[in-house]
Amino acid sequence: MNFAQRALVVVLAIWHCPMAWCAGDEIQVYLDDLTKPGHFGADLHNNFVIQGSRTPDYAGGLAPNHTYRFTPEFYYGLSPTMELGLYLLTTTAPGTGPNYDGQKLRFKYIAPHDETQGSFWGINIEIGKTSHRVSEVPWNAQVKGIYGFRTGPWTVGFNANLDWSLSGSPNSPVAAEFDTKVAYSVKEGLDLGFESYNELGPVRHIGQFNTLGQTLYAVIDADIGKVALNAGIGRGLTAASDRWVLKFILGFQY
């Protein structure tokens, strides 16, 4: 598949897919990493809204301010190109936690490629059932288009996300989000960079970005022994965004 075909895959993914944005259970730009076939791995996703809205987005939801999300993720390498994963969602908010908030199953495919230089592409599909505290409807799905490339010490990644409801009104809008990552390798096992997470709104009415969530993170990726760390501090760029968010992910593979 050449560059034009890969770009078309991402464009079609954005065009065909609905709406659910949160300072979420996982704040991560997907790249080409996969667990080796027959091996297990685990990521511990953590994020805390240092300063955000004190008002829930909907009746019965959690107000973002001072909400802590801890999401263990377990995954298994099915083949050199495929991985199966499971998220277990929990939240702790002022006066409410800790709470178990559901689970999500995911399937990730990354096409064969040179893992040191050049481009890569893939897709990640998630289906989950979550509590009313974190989602207005219980059943949701997401399709994530993955594209990126490496050149010298630089790694650049793009995720085109489409979110929609599997329960509730059949006319619930499909929402789009576009996330990016730029990282520079300072030395082996240490990268510095930026990640951005950008709501685009319902696919049929994309626009008005200043009224949607847009957050920019300064991040560090480091290998500490056998543990992979991704950590960052995020600043909301619009009134609809949480003002400050702290996140870190600890990754283990067996």
42-52 pLDDT, tens digit each: 999 999 999 99
For residue 43, how many other CB atoms are within 10 A of its CB? 20
Q: Is the pLDDT of residue 11 over 50?
A: no
Task: Supply 134's token pair.
Answer: 């974190």
| Top-confidence residue, 183 or 60 | 183
Which pLDDT belongs to residue 23?
53
Q: Kindly state the average pLDDT of the residues 106-131.
A: 97
Report the number of distinct structural domains present in the chain: 1
CATH number where 205 lies: 2.40.160.40
Cα–Cα distance between 150 and 216 in angstroms, integer? Answer: 21
* Spatial CA neighbour of 91 closest among 102, 83, 82, 81: 102
Tell me 211's DSSP state.
G
Q: What is the pLDDT of residues 199-225, one digit of tens each?
A: 999 988 887 778 899 999 999 999 999
Taking only the tens place, the pLDDT of each residue in 138-187 is: 999 999 999 999 999 999 999 999 999 998 666 678 999 999 999 999 99
Three-class DSSP category at 105:
strand
Q: Which residue has the higher pLDDT, 6 or 228?
A: 228
Higher per-residue confidence, 159 vs 24? 159
The range of the structural domain enclosing residue 163 comes to 3-253
Residue 10 tokens, joined: 């991402």
Pairing of strands 99-110, 118-130: antiparallel
The predicted model scores a pTM of 0.87
Q: Examine the pLDDT at 8 and tell me if it is beyond 60.
A: no
